[in-house]
Amino acid sequence: MVEKITPRSQDYSRWYTDVVQQAQLADYAPVRGCMVIKPYGYALWENVKDGLDRRFKATGHENAYFPLLIPMSFLQKEAQHVEGFSPELAVVTHGGGKELEEPLVVRPTSETIIGHMYAQWIQSYRDLPLLINQWANVVRWELRTRLFLRTMEFLWQEGHTAHATAEEAQEETLRMLDVYADFAESDAAVPVIKGRKSETEKFAGAVASYSIEAMMGDMRALQAGTSHNLGQNFSRAFDIRYLDANNVLQYCWTTSWGMSTRMVGCIIMVHGDDQGLILPPRLAPVQVVIVPIAKTEEERSAVLDACEAVSRTLADAGVRVKLDARDEYSPGWKFNEWELRGVPLRIEIGPRDVAREQVVAARRDRPGKEGKSFLPMAGLANAISDLLVQIQRDLFARALAFREAHTSEPTDYEAFSAAVESGFARAWWCGSIACEDRVKEDTKATTRNIPFDQPGGTGRCIVCGAPASETAVFARAY
């Protein structure tokens, strides 16, 4: 272990894969495009799950579970949906040794099968809103895959809600986008731009899609979560109707929203550096690692006692702490390993620290002396908790400053084309697909979203010069 990580400046994509593998987050699976999520990566995902699940429950959602296998005919009921997903399907044609009468699709997403069930469950306005989330695996036959970012199978949550009115559905759609943004910014320390997807970029079957977009360390964009207002598209396709208070049969208004293991890739690329991973304290499986430093057997026993006492104190205070007391590795080797694995804070305890009743705390996000401090044993749990809060805040601030430093507002197409080479370009856009297409062809950049936060007024489309009422964020994207 602990091979050399390719520097970001040399090959960002290689850096990413090195970090994922060497930090032991994930590994390649024997099936093309699939990955194995290793224990450390899965522990990170469990913390992502907890952070989201708590928020879903606090906003009135319940979890449920729907089948993995969906009759092929279901996919075909919503025209845009089938068109969007057909090229990506994995199809079960044989079961129990026989060929099936109707092929079954391994779910690429669950609007159709959930729509089918909602049609049976929803009778009257009293059954609404129906607010359900599912934690599940999905399969999409992707050609170009990358660990966490785009894999044939991935883990995610998909929320599916049904409402009595268009207004409620829209409120829900935006509420869940806010939940994602809050999770991303508060827990993952990832600043995001909330906005509406363009017509070409929206979900297959949605009336309107919304996303949160983040800037990665190579200045490309990553869509970290999406929330869709499905209007009545799926309720008409699946006959999801309710009797309203006047006893009139109405179609429901539905939404769906999802965040996936892709978020893990996002965290890696927003915070990581050439030493490896840097994890935000709120999601880090290990928040604090304690490394004992002793040369002689005599020193070792006193140092280990102190390490164990500190470990207990921190664990009791709710800190996720790990004492690395392995004999076979030197302190320097351990420093490297835990830096590579992104533990936010390292505590070193040597004989002198024991004598002085102190510890050395070293921040992962501030290499060298700058990030080191001496903390007295007395009141250590509070000091460490405060430091973790500070690290969380600093990681967010750094990511935000980075994004701002690499976001420009070009006013002509030449400057625009240069800008999307190395960052986000925010520009007026007339809304036409033709202009989107041209940008994509010229620069490989796409509209990420049309931010909620608009400058106001009107302008001229950065591409065609026609009048434009909104600005969009353009960038190359994952």
Pick between residue 29 and residue 381 the one whose CB is nearest to its own copies: 29
Pick between residue 244 and residue 394 the one whose CB is nearest to its own copies: 244
Pick between residue 46 and residue 421 the one whose CB is nearest to its own copies: 46
Tokens of 174: 């935006």
CB of 69 to its own copies, least distance (A): 5
> How many beta carbons lie within 10 A of that of residue 131, not counting itself?
18
Instruction: Check whether the bond before 129 is cis (ω within 30° of 0).
Output: yes
The CA distance from 224 to 241, in Å, is 32
CB of 30 to its own copies, least distance (A): 6
CB of 26 to its own copies, least distance (A): 9
Instruction: Dump the DSSP string for 440-455.
Output: HHHHS-EEEEEESS--
Give the strand pairing for 221-231 and 253-260. antiparallel
Determine contact, residues 270/215, Cβ cutoff 8 Å. Answer: yes
Pick between residue 240 and residue 375 the one whose CB is nearest to its own copies: 240
The gap from C-alpha 326 to its chain's centroid, in whole angstroms, comes to: 33
CB of 441 to its own copies, least distance (A): 25
The CA distance from 222 to 292, in Å, is 39
CB of 104 to its own copies, least distance (A): 6
The CA distance from 303 to 289, in Å, is 15
> How many beta carbons lie within 10 A of that of residue 242, not counting itself?
22
Q: How far is CA 214 from CA 59, 73, 108, 338, 375, in A?
A: 24, 36, 24, 26, 35
The CA distance from 379 to 382, in Å, is 6
Pick between residue 143 and residue 401 the one whose CB is nearest to its own copies: 143
Pick between residue 90 and residue 464 the one whose CB is nearest to its own copies: 90
Q: DSSP state, 88? A: G
Order of strands, sheet of 193-196, starting from the edge strand that comes earlier in the sequence: 62-63, 130-139, 153-163, 253-260, 221-231, 208-215, 193-196, 446-451, 470-475, 424-429, 407-408
Pick between residue 133 and residue 447 the one whose CB is nearest to its own copies: 133
CB of 174 to its own copies, least distance (A): 23
Instruction: Dump the DSSP string for 186-210.
Output: IIS----EEEEPPTTTS-TT-SEEE
Pick between residue 89 and residue 189 the one whose CB is nearest to its own copies: 89
CB of 333 to its own copies, least distance (A): 14
CB of 352 to its own copies, least distance (A): 31
**Three-state secondary structure call for residue 48:** helix
Using CB atoms within 10 Å of the CB of residue 86, give its burial: 0 to 12 exposed, 13 to 18 middle, 19+ buried: middle
Pick between residue 238 and residue 335 the one whose CB is nearest to its own copies: 238
Determine contact, residues 422/405, Cβ cutoff 8 Å. Answer: no
CB of 50 to its own copies, least distance (A): 11
Determine contact, residues 160/172, Cβ cutoff 8 Å. Answer: no
Tokens of 297: 């057997």
Q: Which residues bind its own copies (CB under 8 A)?
A: 27, 29-31, 34-39, 41-43, 45-46, 62-71, 74, 86-97, 103-104, 106, 113, 116-117, 120-121, 126, 132, 136-137, 139, 141, 143, 152-153, 155, 328
Pick between residue 4 and residue 144 the one whose CB is nearest to its own copies: 144
CB of 40 to its own copies, least distance (A): 8
CB of 102 to its own copies, least distance (A): 9
Pick between residue 126 and residue 356 the one whose CB is nearest to its own copies: 126
Tokens of 216: 């990665």
